[in-house]
């Protein structure tokens, strides 16, 4: 096997785990990895070398690389009944690190290989698996607990998406603040195209994200029921996203709700359809109990949708003065905020504040800060 390690002082070899960025169906971590790699291509100097590690050949834009970039496919165990890779990080990537290591390894998720270079940078997006353990399957919960602890002990540096998450990691794992670097994220959608979304009746309030209990979906439903009482104009509530832990409870509550005919659950929706959904909503509502960052609030800002979100976790840090903040445990307060955004002056002010706030976030900034961490600047 050809070694890719270099000892030249003028060159640094950076290895990046691109396995998640290369997945066809992307959620939060996958989009983060993809957007970040694409921006790093623009700013890492030609004097440095970069290798992208993945379990399959890179596809799409990922496969289009600058001259100082390359890819390396690392095989691992596969499920006999599917193409799913087993423990690619701990088996495939770890083995690669033993025989052919980069100067710096960057893994844009919580899973750090057991065998790794001394300068390994990891991204811990949140510690929701500790705050909401029931939302994770037993094996996944165990792996998250181990991998996050392992990274906290042995990573050279840790990147987090918010000051809130940084504080939590310091409190839980008792590590020095100087080891952790905050790089805010940015909207992931392409807002340059005029998208169209069919089948959603206006007027409606919008939720986007995994439809799960920790997002306070039951509280949102209750707030919508309160908001809808004795109202002449019939509003709708739209849940956009894949089902998660606690989804069955929502279905049961909807069956017994007096507004069940005005609630729509779309499931997965293509990214190109989302801007229109945001743009045409009365408001985007995210009364979540826990968010490590909360990209959908920035997407809503970008599309000119008023935002109502929880006053907990990272959300106040991200939205600044751009949204109405509510107590997620108080459905009456959420309902009053839904009433408030119907006022034209309030609505206009929120939209303007959202546009101003979202300008502070970009993947270029995220990539620049990440490169400073990787390069030791």
∠ CA 262-294-365, nearest 5°, is: 140
Report the C-alpha gap between 149 and 25 in whole angstroms. 28
What's the pTM? Answer: 0.90
The tens digit of pLDDT for each residue in 199-229 reads: 688 999 999 999 999 999 999 999 999 999 9
Residue 323 has pLDDT above 90, yes or no: yes
Residue 2 has pLDDT above 80, yes or no: no
Q: What is the number of alpha carbons within 13 Å of residue 144 lying toward its C-beta?
A: 18
Pick the CATH number of 13-186+362-375 from 3.30.460.80, 3.40.50.2000, 1.10.10.10, 1.10.3720.10: 3.40.50.2000
Class of the domain covering 204-358:
alpha beta
What residue segments make up the domains of the chain, in order of their start? 13-186+362-375, 204-358
∠ CA 346-342-225, nearest 5°, is: 135
In the prediction, which pLDDT does 195 show?
62
Confidence of residue 361 (pLDDT cuts 50, 70, 90): very high
Report the C-alpha gap between 1 and 181 in whole angstroms. 35
The tens digit of pLDDT for each residue in 226-259 reads: 999 989 899 999 999 999 999 999 999 999 999 9
Same fold, 13-186+362-375 and 204-358: yes
Report the C-alpha gap between 189 and 178 in whole angstroms. 32
Report the C-alpha gap between 204 and 277 in whole angstroms. 9
Residue 9 has pLDDT above 50, yes or no: no
Token pair, residue 273, equals 């359809």
């Amino acid at each position: 096997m050809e070694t890719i390690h270099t000892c030249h002082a003028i060159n640094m070899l950076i290895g990046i785990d691109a396995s998640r960025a290369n997945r066809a169906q992307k959620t939060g971590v996958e989009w983060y990895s993809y957007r970040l790699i694409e921006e790093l291509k623009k700013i890492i100097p030609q004097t440095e070398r970069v290798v992208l590690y993945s379990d399959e050949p890179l596809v799409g834009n990922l496969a289009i690389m600058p001259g100082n970039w390359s890819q390396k496919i690392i095989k691992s165990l596969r499920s006999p009944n599917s193409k799913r890779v087993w423990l690619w990080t701990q088996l495939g990537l770890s083995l690669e690190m033993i025989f052919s290591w980069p100067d710096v390894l960057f893994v844009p998720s919580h899973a750090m290989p057991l065998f790794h270079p001394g300068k390994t940078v990891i991204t811990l997006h949140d510690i929701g698996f500790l705050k909401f353990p029931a939302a994770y399957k037993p094996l996944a919960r165990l792996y998250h607990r181990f991998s996050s602890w392992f990274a906290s002990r042995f990573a050279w540096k840790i990147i987090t998406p918010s000051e809130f998450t940084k504080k939590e990691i310091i409190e839980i794992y008792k590590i020095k603040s100087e080891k952790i670097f905050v790089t805010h994220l940015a909207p992931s959608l392409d807002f340059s195209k005029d998208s169209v979304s069919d089948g959603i009746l206006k007027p409606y309030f919008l939720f986007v994200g995994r439809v799960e209990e920790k997002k306070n979906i039951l509280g949102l439903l209750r707030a919508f029921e309160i908001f809808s009482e004795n109202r002449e104009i019939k509003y709708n509530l739209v849940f956009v996203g894949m089902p998660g832990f606690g989804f069955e409870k929502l279905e049961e509550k909807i069956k017994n709700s007096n507004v069940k005919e005005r609630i729509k659950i779309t499931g997965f929706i293509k990214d190109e359809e989302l801007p229109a959904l945001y743009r045409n909503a009365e408001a985007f509502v995210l009364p979540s109990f826990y968010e490590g960052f909360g990209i959908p609030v920035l997407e809503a800002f970008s599309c000119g949708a008023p935002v109502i979100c929880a006053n907990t976790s990272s959300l106040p840090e991200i939205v600044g003065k751009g949204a109405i903040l509510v107590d997620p445990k108080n459905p009456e307060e959420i309902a009053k905020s839904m009433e408030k955004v119907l006022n034209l002056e309030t609505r206009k002010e929120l939209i303007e504040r959202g546009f101003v706030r979202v300008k502070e976030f970009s993947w270029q900034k995220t990539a620049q800060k990440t490169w400073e961490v990787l390069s030791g600047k």
